[in-house]
Amino acid sequence: MNKKFIIVFAALFFMTAAFSQAIKSDDRITLPLDSFTTKISLQAKPQIIDARSGEEFAFNHINNALNFNLQSQGYNGFVQLLNKSWPVFIYAINTGRSTALAKDLKSKGFAEVYDLEGGIANWIGSGQSYYTSVKRALSLAEYKNIIASNKTVLVDIGSRYCPACKKAKPVLDSIRDENPGKIKIVEIDLEESPQLIAELETVNVFPYLILYKQGEVTFKKGGLNGLKHDIDAALVKTK
């Protein structure tokens, strides 16, 4: 057998083995929103779990979702309410709590466990139906008025329970300090204005930043990585 062929074959073998092992070692399947919703639509009574805290759940959640996570009192009792032969759909804010729960359910014998990429931000931000206890929030008309009334507006969309959102606050403070009187920063929380987030139809993760210049969107970014650098660069372009 050709020596070169043997080397290539061996390399492919080990790459395939490593890939298979990686799949086996990951007990969850994180799905994009479209796949997540499609799979839910195929279930007569989908098993949906909100892995956030009770406080977060009380503000808003996916319709008919159960609320528990690994830290919940009576956790095993909640698990027993689920059917192991049916798919389980899990979400949180980011994938920390939902990933941990998904892995534990897989270890308990659940065959299909799906974790929503982008969590509740992705669900509500795409305009999917949800429950909310919020009675009065910033309306889309009020939002548009703020944008129209200011030359440069940076909108920060997130949640008071989101760790990444909290880390974004000092970044925004520094941007405000570096641009005194030149930029208006508007903070929108899921717990106060979920309907507005849904109506914007652009948010898919928290934090989510939108920069407006004279009423026009000039920059959008989801997530924390490179936030300061990207916003500074966007501000330079808008001058």
- Which residues are known to be catalytic? 162, 165
CA–CA dist 203, 59 (Å, integer): 18
CA–CA dist 153, 183 (Å, integer): 6
Residue 64 Rama label (left phi>0; alpha psi -120 to 50; beta): left
Structure tokens at 42: 């195929």
Among 2, 130, 4, which residue's Cα sits nearest to residue 60? 130
Q: Are 91 and 43 in contact (CB under 8 A)?
A: no
- Of how many residues is the chain composed? 239
Q: Can the peptide bond before residue 207 be classed as cis, meaning omega within 30 degrees of 0?
A: yes
3-class DSSP assignment, residue 79 = helix
Provide the sign of the torsion angle of the four alpha carbons 197, 198, 200, 203, taken in this order: positive
Provide the sign of the torsion angle of the four alpha carbons 88, 94, 97, 99, taken in this order: positive
